[in-house]
Amino acid sequence: MTSPGSEIAEALVGESAHAAPAKIVDGLSDELAHRRVSGAPHTIYEELWHLAFWQQIMLDWMSGIETPYPASVDDPFPTEAQTAGESWDELRERFLSGASEAASIASDSSRLTKPLQRPFRPGQPARPMNLQDELISLAAHNAYHLGRIVLLRQVLGSWPPPSGGYTW
């Protein structure tokens, strides 16, 4: 039987419940990552930027760095200046690096019960959690948005990626 932390690590960087995140974001050009899909609220780039944004905030919380919860629903998506300042390849590397960091934390089962105080939405009290709870939340959030990226890739005719991935 695997430890809870190792399964969480697998969900963050492996093929636990879906294609590996590295495969999901593989093989996309900068142009395709920024292409708008009719009816979709965000591009692939914006979805991944959102993931990297939240992932870093949650890593900060896990490290004891007091980082406020975003004040606006627009904050966790890139502005034009932020988009112009980071290429698709840089963004992809930033996200994958953060996912590896989170998986490393999850792999240390001795730390999973460490309590942490996590800010919640503005006007709401902090949520008492432990490291395992936060990692599960991160893995679930990543899975949701990675699924959106897969769907956008399917609509754009860019799935599966060159490195492979589920076709269903």
All domains of the chain, ordered by start, with CATH? Answer: 4-155 (1.20.120.450)
Question: What is the pLDDT tens value at each position of the chain, 168 positions in all?
Answer: 456 668 999 999 998 888 999 999 999 999 999 999 999 999 999 999 999 999 999 999 999 898 888 888 778 999 999 999 999 999 999 999 999 999 999 999 999 999 987 887 777 887 789 999 999 999 999 999 999 999 999 999 999 988 876 666
What are the tokens at 116?
A: 């942490």
**C-alpha separations of 46 from 27, 63, 112, 151 in Å:** 17, 26, 31, 14
Q: Alpha-carbon distance 135 to 12, whole Å? A: 9
